């Protein structure tokens, strides 16, 4: 019983690491509405090694929201 329980816990831990605990990327529209959070996310992304697609997409959306806002202010 201990071996099964230990194996199950180990498997679940590996899966959580692999899939990033189920975090989903925030949308571009979300970051456009929350520019301060987008700025913080971009700073965080500069320091992190992006390990999965959700993290990469999240960082790209935050950057795009900031660039879009700068473009709008320029006009």
Residue 58 falls within a domain, yes or no?
yes
Residue 14 falls within a domain, yes or no?
no
Residue 19 falls within a domain, yes or no?
no
Domain interval for residue 40: 24-75
Place 72 in a pLDDT band, splitting at 50, 70 and 90.
confident
The number of folded domains in the chain is 1
pLDDT attached to residue 49: 79
pLDDT attached to residue 37: 95
pLDDT attached to residue 74: 66
Residue 11 falls within a domain, yes or no?
no
Residue 50 falls within a domain, yes or no?
yes
Q: Which pLDDT tens digit goes with each residue over 4-45?
A: 756 656 766 555 555 555 568 899 999 999 999 999 999 999
Neighbours of 3 (CB within 10 A): 7
Residue 51 falls within a domain, yes or no?
yes
Residue 16 falls within a domain, yes or no?
no
Q: Dihedral sign for Cα 22, 28, 32, 33, please.
A: negative
Distance CA 30, CA 40 (A): 14
**DSSP letter, residue 21:** G
pTM: 0.62
pLDDT attached to residue 13: 58
């Amino acid at each position: 019983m201990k071996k099964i329980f230990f194996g199950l816990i180990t498997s679940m831990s590996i899966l959580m690491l692999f899939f990033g605990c189920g975090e989903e990327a925030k949308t571009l529209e979300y970051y456009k509405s929350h520019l301060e959070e987008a700025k913080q996310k971009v700073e965080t992304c500069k320091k992190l090694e992006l390990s999965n697609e959700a993290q990469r997409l999240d960082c790209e959306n935050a950057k795009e929201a900031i660039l879009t806002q700068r473009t709008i202010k320029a006009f």
